Structure 1
Amino acid sequence: MSLLRRIEQGQGRPPAEGGNVVPRPVAPSSPAAPSSPAPLPSPAPATGTAPAASSPGAPAASSLGLQTRRVSAPDAPSQTGTYFDLKRRVQNRLLAELDPSLDIKKTDEVRRVAQELFDRILTEENIILSRAERARLFEQIAAEILGFGPLQPLLEDDTISEIMVNGAKSIYVERNGKLHRVPITFESNEHVMRIISRIVAPLGRRIDDSSPYVDARLPDGSRVNASIPPISLIGPTLTIRKFFKNPLTAEQLIELGTITPEALQFLKACVHARLNIIISGGSGSGKTTLLNILSGFIPPDERIITIEDAAELQLRQEHVVSLEARPPNIEGRGEVTIRQLVINTLRMRPDRIIVGEIRDEAALDMLQAMNTGHDGSMSTCHSNSPRDTLSRLETMTLMAGMNLPSRAVREQIASAIDLIIHEERMRDGSRKVTHITEVSGMEGEVITTSDIFIFEQTGFENGKIIGRLKPTGLRPKFMDKIEASGIQLPPSIFGSEGPRRY
């Protein structure tokens, strides 16, 4: 992608050739009075005061037309309007002198050229800055050209798992399960819109009045949801769930207290025995992380097909086919749904089918796949408990419009699902597996279940929940499947000295 194309996307302008991103115009901010450029002043105390916008008399951005944008260092306080005038002037001249044919993907080369131009501009204009000020100013300008503006330092911070932009002046992040407001702002709502456009444009997605929200992902795989007025009353919003290059391992999950070694050993045996597993929980409870870890237990000689709305899974096996759903284009055509992908997967000779999340009528096709020889399938589902998971699966199956009797649907669920793992985000921000529950069959009109492990909270100290995932003493009925696969689990895993059945 050329630098010119990148800048067009950063401005929210449609690409010169084709493309269908039509960002919704946002009411412009009131312009500030022009001010003379000056050397970088001492930072003002943090106040949250809005920065000055471009003045009508400000110099033209450049022949490339880049509009001014603001980014602050993560720990930098709000700065004066004079600073932004200086940043805008240096940024505009730098962009005017950059070769527009530079390939933006060659980050190191663009950065080297930009650094040389930046140093020359400061020298020619006799702008005197300290070494720290020069470095900070250059990083802010580089983030606008090569990255995602004010969000770039947050995206590069490995301690942050989620980023939430609530309009131009309010940004929150999640660290260790806790939300924190950060002293970073956008220049204006238009600035937020430009970043949204930069994210969605390469994916061929649209966001405008007729389609005021969109799901997308960043080049590194981070999942993005954006919404704009009129459905968002506070201005454009962004929610970014970061994609980690090095996902959590099973050992780290144990260290964090999410699960015990005994429970994980049991789940590993369940995966090897090709049991059908649903991971349930609320938003942000760690379902996808756990699904990724359990998928890692699948033997390397099996063909795995994954189906997701937005690709998040990071399987390490070689024989993996990843499928991703696709929304309709600007003409309302070309949509590919999760349900269509599940149906198509059955023709692809899968050994395992992994669906990132079941959320609609695709549940029917997933259950049918589980009931027709595709054992060892796994998926996630938003719900509040294992019992609620069964109710949601029933509701989603009925959404398929097949007019099936409720009993028939429940029999399908009871026959297809072997195990439900429920995970919760606790009030201290930690993620815990709270239930490992067997789906054991039907009694009359009701699906029967039995808890194999339950989280038992024993206290709350220094803001941390104290407790442990404990076995209930019950041995699941599907132990025969586990033993038939050649795995012998010690009775102590289930909290008993000998086999205890129900």
Structure 2
Amino acid sequence: MKSVQDKFSTAEFAARVQSQGMEREAAAPVQEDSGSEDFDRLAGEIRSYLSAPRGMTEEERRQYSETLNRAVLGFSQEREQVLAVIEDRLIRLRIHTLPGWKHPYATLAEALFAEVVGLNVLELVLASRTDLEELQVVGTRIYEVRGGMAAMSHYCFGSIRDVERIQQNLVLYNNDRINPRKRWAEVMLKDGSRVTMTGFGFTSSPTLTIRFYTVSRFRLEALAAAPYFSLSDRMVQLLLASLKARYNLVIIGPTNSGKTNLMKALIAELPDVERIITIEGRYEMMLGRDFPSKNIIEYEAAEDDEAHRSSQAFKLALRQSPQRIIHAEIRDEDANIYVRACTRGHTGSMTTVHANRLEDVPEAITDMCMLDGRSMNPERLTKRIAEYVTELGIEMKLIGGRRIVSRIGEIGWQDGDIHIREWAVFSEVENEWQYSNPPSERAAAWLDQEV
């Protein structure tokens, strides 16, 4: 039988647990928690310091913001610059170490850089950036896009918080925000690289998509040769003749299928003196940079700004003596203006449209034109678009990791319906192009050659 002293006492047990907890707390290095809190405060101070505008002029401030963005996205030269800024700030603050705080980095400046600028586990992915086209983060999962094909990465984030920290760094350095009232943000670099972010409440998990600028100057002959083999030599001659004949071109295809590459290759073949006007929602083609000698005016339209929408850009563009209008992508607001431009003397224009097949393109543009509420006969409008706006269609596909011009054809109207006269079609079975039909008599006269 147990003695009275052996009986269980809740009060005694609680006192013993409290005493043991106090002993563990006394034995633990108090400086460790204090050092961690000090580091968090210091990281916040450095983050605020870096995000403050810097420069005497607006251009200098934009350049500084660009440097921060490129540093976050893993560009080595800009990273060295930002690390030097952090080191200089620590010297001015006379801070060299934080007592009680341990970290795996060589210096405190490197530890702070990793916290306020670094990309966490994405650093490991970026170590192999040679052919990396896009990084896609969904929650903690990471996908790498190379050669137009996405594959799950060997790496992943440890927690959602790590993804959100990177998002906050990117938006902070661009005077933007992601919060419960605005759950998305975009960052665009001068070289065309683009970051798109969404947060909880807008998507089920935080997302981060980094699309690196990988397109450089191409000629059509280059796209027909190794390592691309996007089209054949015969197709090159067809497209060159089409440019000379000033066909209105439309290019379709899924994301990363090579539409921008092809459009830039077509533009590269045009005479430098021709007045070209481009209208984009975001500067992506970078024609002025890649073709400095060409007579190009580049518009960046902002649909949320009434004074600078694409419709306004079109109105101004038509008064600037354009010989060709390059519209990155037809959207609802400007479909009518683009149709009018193509049918009123601005031949040789180019655009892209979201459509599954070339047969769907005229009706897709018609639907966009009808959205402004004007009273128009849809069939007559579709016929007009097919015959004058989308005269030559080019279809792009990703086949076996290759970006392929899978189809070239005249788009026209026949027997009350849209008709495609195919000039070239890629056969996946035979892995080569087949040339089903020569250009029509009308087209052959324009091309001024027997094809």
The answer, yes or no, to whether TM exceeds 0.5 is yes
What SS does the corresponding residue of 1:478 show, helix, strand or coil?
Answer: helix
Q: Give the aligned partner of residue 323 of structure 1.
A: 299
Q: Distance in 2 between matches of 1:214 and 1:195?
A: 12
1:56-205 matches, cutoff 5 A: 58-61=36-39, 65-66=43-44, 105=67, 107=78, 108-112=80-84, 134=106, 142=113, 150-151=121-122, 154=125, 157-167=129-139, 169-186=140-157, 188-200=159-171
**1:373: how far off?**
0.7
Q: Distance in 2 between matches of 1:323 and 1:152?
A: 34
What SS does the corresponding residue of 1:182 show, helix, strand or coil?
Answer: strand
1:365-384 matches, cutoff 5 A: 365-384=337-356
Q: Give the aligned partner of residue 436 of structure 2.
A: 472
Q: Distance in 2 between matches of 1:250 and 1:146?
A: 40
Describe the shift of the 1:366–1:423 C-alpha distance in structure 2 as closer, same or farther (beyond 3 A). same
Q: Give the aligned partner of residue 223 of structure 2.
A: 253
Segment of structure 1 superposing worse, 206-215 or 103-112? 103-112
Checking the alignment, whether the CA contact within 8 Å between 1:63 and 1:96 is kept in structure 2 is no
Q: Distance in 1 between matches of 2:49 and 2:173?
A: 25
Q: Distance in 2 between matches of 1:126 and 1:202?
A: 27
Quick one: which of 441, 446, 451 aligns to 1:481?
446
**1:36: how far off?**
7.1
Q: TM-score of the superposition, structure 1-length normalised?
A: 0.67
**1:430: how far off?**
2.2
Residue 316 (structure 2) pairs with residue 338 (structure 1): no
Checking the alignment, whether the CA contact within 8 Å between 1:143 and 1:152 is kept in structure 2 is no
Q: CA RMSD in A?
A: 3.9
Describe the shift of the 1:398–1:327 C-alpha distance in structure 2 as closer, same or farther (beyond 3 A). closer
Q: Give the aligned partner of residue 281 of structure 2.
A: 309
Q: Distance in 2 between matches of 1:173 and 1:444?
A: 47
Q: Give the aligned partner of residue 61 of structure 2.
A: none
Q: Give the aligned partner of residue 77 of structure 1.
A: none
Q: Distance in 2 between matches of 1:277 and 1:220?
A: 26
Count of paired positions: 392
Q: Give the aligned partner of residue 4 of structure 2.
A: none
User: Which structure 1 residue ranges, 5 or more long, are not aligned?
Assistant: 1-32, 38-53, 68-91, 460-466, 495-502
Describe the shift of the 1:214–1:249 C-alpha distance in structure 2 as closer, same or farther (beyond 3 A). farther
Quick one: which of 405, 419, 422 aligns to 1:451?
422
Q: Distance in 2 between matches of 1:265 and 1:173?
A: 35
Q: Distance in 2 between matches of 1:349 and 1:153?
A: 50
Q: Give the aligned partner of residue 40 of structure 1.
A: none
**1:283: how far off?**
2.3
Q: Give the aligned partner of residue 202 of structure 2.
A: 231
Checking the alignment, whether the CA contact within 8 Å between 2:410 and 2:422 is kept in structure 1 is yes
Describe the shift of the 1:66–1:282 C-alpha distance in structure 2 as closer, same or farther (beyond 3 A). same
Residue 287 (structure 2) pairs with residue 354 (structure 1): no
The amino acid that maps onto 2:374 is M
Checking the alignment, whether the CA contact within 8 Å between 1:143 and 1:150 is kept in structure 2 is no
**1:198: how far off?**
3.9
Q: TM-score of the superposition, structure 2-length normalised?
A: 0.74
Segment of structure 1 superposing worse, 257-266 or 214-223? 214-223
What SS does the corresponding residue of 1:433 show, helix, strand or coil?
Answer: strand
Q: Distance in 2 between matches of 1:309 and 1:102?
A: 28
The amino acid that maps onto 2:402 is S
Segment of structure 1 superposing worse, 355-364 or 199-208? 199-208
Q: Distance in 2 between matches of 1:127 and 1:61?
A: 10
Q: Give the aligned partner of residue 188 of structure 2.
A: 217
Q: Distance in 2 between matches of 1:277 and 1:307?
A: 15
Describe the shift of the 1:191–1:326 C-alpha distance in structure 2 as closer, same or farther (beyond 3 A). farther
Quick one: which of 411, 417, 429 aligns to 2:401?
429
Compare the two structures and name the one with the higher helix fraction.
Answer: 2
Q: Distance in 2 between matches of 1:65 and 1:139?
A: 11
Checking the alignment, whether the CA contact within 8 Å between 1:327 and 1:334 is kept in structure 2 is yes
Q: Distance in 2 between matches of 1:287 and 1:393?
A: 18
What SS does the corresponding residue of 1:66 show, helix, strand or coil?
Answer: helix
The amino acid that maps onto 2:202 is I
Describe the shift of the 1:277–1:97 C-alpha distance in structure 2 as closer, same or farther (beyond 3 A). closer
1:9-60 superposed Cα distances (whole Å, 9 cap, x missing partner): xxxxxxxxxxxxxxxxxxxxxxxx9x979xxxxxxxxxxxxxxxx9797222
Residue 393 (structure 2) pairs with residue 420 (structure 1): yes
Q: Distance in 1 between matches of 2:53 and 2:354?
A: 46
Q: Distance in 1 between matches of 2:177 and 2:323?
A: 36
Q: Give the aligned partner of residue 60 of structure 2.
A: none
1:302-360 superposed Cα distances (whole Å, 9 cap, x missing partner): 111111111111321432111112253xxxx5573333322332122212111111132
The amino acid that maps onto 2:207 is T
Q: Distance in 1 between matches of 2:392 and 2:316?
A: 25
Residue 269 (structure 2) pairs with residue 297 (structure 1): yes
The amino acid that maps onto 1:232 is T
Q: Distance in 2 between matches of 1:326 and 1:470?
A: 42
Residue 212 (structure 2) pairs with residue 242 (structure 1): yes
Checking the alignment, whether the CA contact within 8 Å between 2:35 and 2:100 is kept in structure 1 is no
Segment of structure 1 superposing worse, 412-421 or 239-248? 239-248
Q: Distance in 1 between matches of 2:38 and 2:202?
A: 33
What SS does the corresponding residue of 2:37 show, helix, strand or coil?
Answer: coil
1:244-265 superposed Cα distances (whole Å, 9 cap, x missing partner): 2635553442222221121122
Q: Distance in 1 between matches of 2:49 and 2:421?
A: 69
Describe the shift of the 1:264–1:314 C-alpha distance in structure 2 as closer, same or farther (beyond 3 A). farther
Q: Give the aligned partner of residue 9 of structure 2.
A: none
What SS does the corresponding residue of 1:422 show, helix, strand or coil?
Answer: strand
**1:266: how far off?**
1.3
Q: Give the aligned partner of residue 246 of structure 2.
A: 274
Checking the alignment, whether the CA contact within 8 Å between 1:176 and 1:430 is kept in structure 2 is yes
Checking the alignment, whether the CA contact within 8 Å between 1:272 and 1:299 is kept in structure 2 is no
1:382-419 superposed Cα distances (whole Å, 9 cap, x missing partner): 11111022221221121232121112211320222210
Choose 1 or 2 for highest CA Rg: 2
**1:111: how far off?**
3.5
Q: Give the aligned partner of residue 4 of structure 1.
A: none
What SS does the corresponding residue of 1:172 show, helix, strand or coil?
Answer: strand
